[in-house]
Structure formats: structure tokens, C-alpha cells
Structure 1
């Protein structure tokens, strides 16, 4: 992304100069250093992501990591009301979502859970 942005600036006649690192994109050596630094930065970021994913996998196996808590679960008042409206009225899902202030995606996710919960 850094290289693409730098090239975009150069097309507009703007050159990047990083004073404390001595990088000047007007020179071939400045472009080279910038490219090498961005490659190392990309490698570092990728390695951090891999370590994070490995850590999450270990935590999940141990039962420690369960992910982000759901904001709208079946106990949420708006979701309860939405399920009730859906069963007792002829309102569309769009209307129900507007009334209860939840998204359609949330409604459908919770509706599947609700059907499994009530059905069992």
C-alpha cells in the first residue's frame, strides 16, 4: 500500500522525503530503501497475524477464547420483541427490524437460534 500511495503521489509531482531516515523518493536509492522497509514491515505484520491466529487456536482448544460476546442475543429485549412480533403479527421482517432497532442480518441469525431453541 505504501508503494502504491508513493507512486500515486509521484504521478502528481509530489515526492516523499523522510528526513530522520534520509529517504528521498526522487533518488533510486531512496526508492529502494523505501521498498525494502515496506517489505520488512509487511513481513512483520504477517508474522504477527500468524502468531495471533495460532494463539487464538490454542486458547480455543483450552476453552479460554470464545470470541466477542454477542451484543444482540436471545435475551436482549429488542430481539425478544422481534421474535414475538414475527410470531404474532403479519409485519414484514423489515418493519420488525425498524420497530425493534436491530438489523435484518441479526434478526435472521437470532431467528434460526430461536427456532432451534423453541423447537427442542
Structure 2
């Protein structure tokens, strides 16, 4: 019984992979969208506050509802 289930599961994965490849070719499958895209108001405001150097990172994160890790990641991306 387990062998039949495994074969069925492999078939499902193969069909799923084919469907994803087809959707990518048509431009419909793009993966997960980023939470903080380049026009995200909260993140842009957080970066602006950080560059003004008037507040701590914790204060900025509380005001903008952006996580510390995300803020630091965005700052390192912009500096690279």
C-alpha cells in the first residue's frame, strides 16, 4: 500500500512541477511577494528616520511597525 501511495505522490509532484513551469513561462507564477517593496511607506520612512540620526532603531521600529532585522537588511542593501 505504501508503494502505491509513493508512486501517486511522485505523479502529483511531477504534474505540479510541470504546471509551475508552464505558469512561469506565461508570467503568472512569480513566487512570494516581498512585504517591504521599494514603495513601502513604512520602510521608506524608517530609513529616512535612521539617516536623520535623531532616534534609536527601537524607536524607529515602534513608530513604523517595521522589524529591526528588516530595517537593518534594507540599510545594508542600500549601502551595498
Q: TM-score, normalised by structure 1?
A: 0.46
Residues 30-70 of structure 1, C-alpha deviations (whole Å, 9 max, x = no match): xxxxxx2x543344334323322332223223433222333
Q: CA RMSD in A?
A: 2.9
Gaps of 5+ in 2: none
Match of 2:63 among 79, 86, 99: 99
Q: TM-score, normalised by structure 2?
A: 0.60
Report 1 or 2 for greater relative contact order, CA contacts < 8 Å, sequence distance ≥ 6: 2
Gaps of 5+ in 1: 1-35
Which aligned runs of 4 or more in structure 1 are off by greater than 4 angstroms?
A: none
Aligned CA distance change for structure 1 residues 47 and 80 (closer, same or farther; 3 Å): same
User: Which residue matches 2:35?
Assistant: 71
The DSSP-based 3-state class of the residue aligned with 1:67 is: coil
Aligned length: 77
